[in-house]
Structure 1
């Protein structure tokens, strides 16, 4: 029976991996050890510790004047462009657009570095959750950064407050036509999505324009409430701050439908948007709606009647009682028996899959230079994009289909087109090689430290022990004897166990022997490269 009773089992490496996989991106063995050492309660406490990035996106492409290189005169190589002029003073729009695109690439790479480098922290996973919840798109790098910065700064915080801030975000005002919403020409794009996708959900249609949670009348009236807000041109001195134009605002009272008990929003000018959001958040359904979204993101997309009654409703009550702070409810969820029973029931998103291959295997972006580090992280971004999970560029305002489209949900990540790519990218990250994305070639160096991984496994000279422990680390559960033997045939094709024992023991006895090192490294790389292509690696 699904319930929120506190987890009653032992918090072992298996439970630690499950918790960290679901709440962050990739799990190193050091993080697993840290979690099991401090225990479940302290791990959850640490997950929710507030922190702010100590860095910002950097300019990683050096200036040049040949072969179409970027020339960004306002930023020096290795420094952030975030505080630079939003509209570079360059002779042509072509040169300016090159700067914008370079800053975009920097931002996407930086975002992946934040996910890669986070320790025991839920912040990046929640930031991505809010990004998929409050979908917005704008090609300008500073607008994109400012929008995502709102999400990141509020990731652990208050659902109501983040809704208020995102409503006036210039990125959102432009994306959902709030910028065009005036008293003479009301635009309902944002008011509709505010209700349907961001706060309540539509519910079943019960009549003409009447849904379970709101009516078309409410969409119209809320659009009037939100009239008058504008986003400035990018060349303005304060383009990242919305402004209110009273003359474009619809004056007078706005009356909501019976779904809101015929609530009246009295004329309140620039403060009116806060009033309507406060009224929306008084609705009982609001806390249930966001709880379901969080549950689908962290636990499972299948919400049965039992889960609705015993998990969703009590968690929603906690969120409502905490004035829409989401952390208290999530802490209870992650501490529950139910959470630790909900294993191996989600197909990894492309971003989860990529970091399962990199971070979990100790692969980090090369740090010999800012250029190398960012270029590698940008390739990870391109991989995720090619696998149909592109940050900043959702397929539509509803977000990624895996979190809303019934009945497939997360199964949409895998089809006959995407699966071969998923397998190819996983193996390439382990063994290295060339991948092709949008007809462009990218070289992946073999950066996974397979020898270090193996050195951390006690008894690795026994191929059965080695493979079994790798399976525990990569899959978080044991494999069958048939799978063990098939993998052993990758490591030592057709040879008895002692062949590996002798070779690996010889290598340990003489690590300076280059021929031995290359031979052992290749065998391990082929083995792990095969394991990350197994179906068990695709789920969590």
Structure 2
């Protein structure tokens, strides 16, 4: 199980976004039990928002809008989405409520939507943050009624004469039960139950009775004149749902190769607790198996975990934070814009030759030791390649970061930085690291953060 220090380090990297420079003493001296209890402290909940006004005078879908008005609306939309993205990242890096934000990050990939409307994005983001450690039933109901989800999966078009099965299919396949636990006919009947669910111009959920199919439906072995609420309740009655959710959480927080005994036990408890997520997470982090060697330092950090982790351990001022989204884009994880309804991939799919190079260089780029070099892929048509390369380099303003190295030196005085930066120190050869260093603490830390081992959590 390791020492309390190694347990605390593992806990903080999985239950949050890595060690903050302010936690260095804590993880060395606190009992693991206390660290777990700290994670579940009740903090006041604050919504994430953006500063630019919510009012877009003419939605660019308005057929009467001029080209200029459409452009202006698009500009505001983009600005609000970038602000929302960065404000979510700020919560991850600064909030003491680390577990809430880590769970919200998990749900953000689980209930993946990709819509342009910043108001809808903000609303869904706050729904998943508010319910991140609450009750899965409430979370599922609120997400299913959010305009972001209803728009993304076309339920606005789901009407009794023309049922649209998109939302119904994904609710079962990706959000609750997983494949193999329902039939094609269940999807058809589920879609009928969701007919009429939509939202108004203001982004409020509405049930449109005229569009709802009131006929009898047979779904997962039950027959009745079901509404959307009824069918979600039937889905939650299935033990397959508790097992699917538990497995996905386990893969994210513990190990991508789940232990079936642990899954069975945890999902049974989740089901009998009526989907209490806080209890599930307490069970995971309090279990001795969570700290087993096989679960430590075996996960590749997602780009968000990598970026947030660097910002947490190195006190820094970021003068052009909007340029952090450039790194998100290049590394393949732009918050608010998952690739598709299945969310982001994980594990080895985060790493290819170009993303690994950039990952290893970020500590040096952000410390001002090397310029940001990125060029379009070789196989581009030369002409296009040149243009896009110039355009890219032009777009790459540095985030303009100042790191407070004095604070870092003070904090790490008489400590081995590798103990705090590398999850499994047995993997790292410190001789190689110090070979490239001028023996200063600053270079030592930058070099440690530029190793493949730093990519693991």
1:217 aligns with 2:185: yes
Shift of 1:88: 6.2
The residue number in structure 2 matching 1:393 is 337
User: Is 2:449 the partner of 1:532?
Assistant: yes
- Secondary structure of the residue that 2:396 maps to in structure 1? strand
Provide the secondary structure at the position in 2 that maps to 1:447.
strand
Distance 1:424 1:173 in 2: 40
Q: 1:446 to 1:490 in 2, by over 3 A?
A: farther
**Out of 382, 406, 420, which is 1:473 matched to?**
420
Which of 186, 206, 223 aligns to 1:264? It is: 223
Aligned runs of 1:512-527 on 2, under 5 Å? 523-527=440-444
Q: Retained in 2: the 8 A contact 1:226–1:273?
A: yes
Residue 290 of structure 2, aligned match among 332, 336, 339? 339
Q: Which runs of 5+ in 2 are unaligned?
A: 60-64, 375-391
Once the two structures are TM-superposed, the CA of residue 362 in structure 1 deviates from its matched residue by: 2.8
Per-residue deviation, residues 98-127 of structure 1 (Å, max 9, x unmatched): 222211121111111111102252011110
1:86–1:314 distance in 2 versus 1, CA, 3 Å: farther
**Equivalent residues, number:** 430
Distance of aligned partners of 1:448 and 1:50 in 2 relative to their CA distance in 1, 3 Å threshold: same
User: Shift in Å at residue 395 of structure 1?
Assistant: 1.1
Partner of 1:491: 437
Report the equivalent of 1:351. 304
The TM-score normalised by the length of structure 2 is 0.88
Relative to structure 1, is the Cα distance of residues 279 and 54 closer, same or farther in structure 2, using a 3 angstrom cutoff? closer
Aligned twin of 2:277: 326
- The separation in 2 between residues aligned to 1:384 and 1:317, in whole angstroms, is 37
Change (3 A) 1:198 1:153: same
Partner of 1:496: none
Q: Which residue of 2 aligns with 1:427?
A: 364
Verify the 8 A CA contact 2:48 2:126 in the aligned structure 1: no
Superposed, which structure 2 residues align to 1:73-152 within 5 Å? Answer: 81=53, 84-87=54-57, 92-119=69-96, 121-152=98-129
Relative to 1, partners in 2 of residues 1:86 and 1:36: Cα closer, same or farther, differing over 3 Å?
farther
- Map 1:424-463; keep pairs closer than 5 Å: 424-431=361-368, 434-435=371-372, 438-439=392-393, 440-445=395-400, 447-459=402-414
What secondary structure is seen at the aligned counterpart in 2 of 1:329?
Answer: helix
Identify unmatched segments of 5+ residues in structure 1: 1-7, 60-74, 76-80, 204-212, 234-238, 367-371, 403-409, 460-465, 493-499, 501-522
Match of 2:160, SS state, is coil
Larger Cα Rg: Structure 1 or Structure 2? 1
**Aligned-partner SS, 1:491:** coil
Structure (1 or 2) with the greater helix fraction: 2
Alpha-carbon offset, residue 337 of structure 1: 1.6
Q: Aligned pair in 2 of structure 1 residues 530, 38: CA closer, same or farther (>3 Å)? A: closer
- Contact 2:270–2:276 (Cα < 8 Å) also in 1: yes
Distance 2:97 2:162 in 1: 49
Counterpart CA distance in 1 for 2:364 and 2:281 is: 34
Tell me by how many angstroms 1:330 deviates. Answer: 1.3
Give the C-alpha shift of residue 26 in structure 1. Answer: 2.6
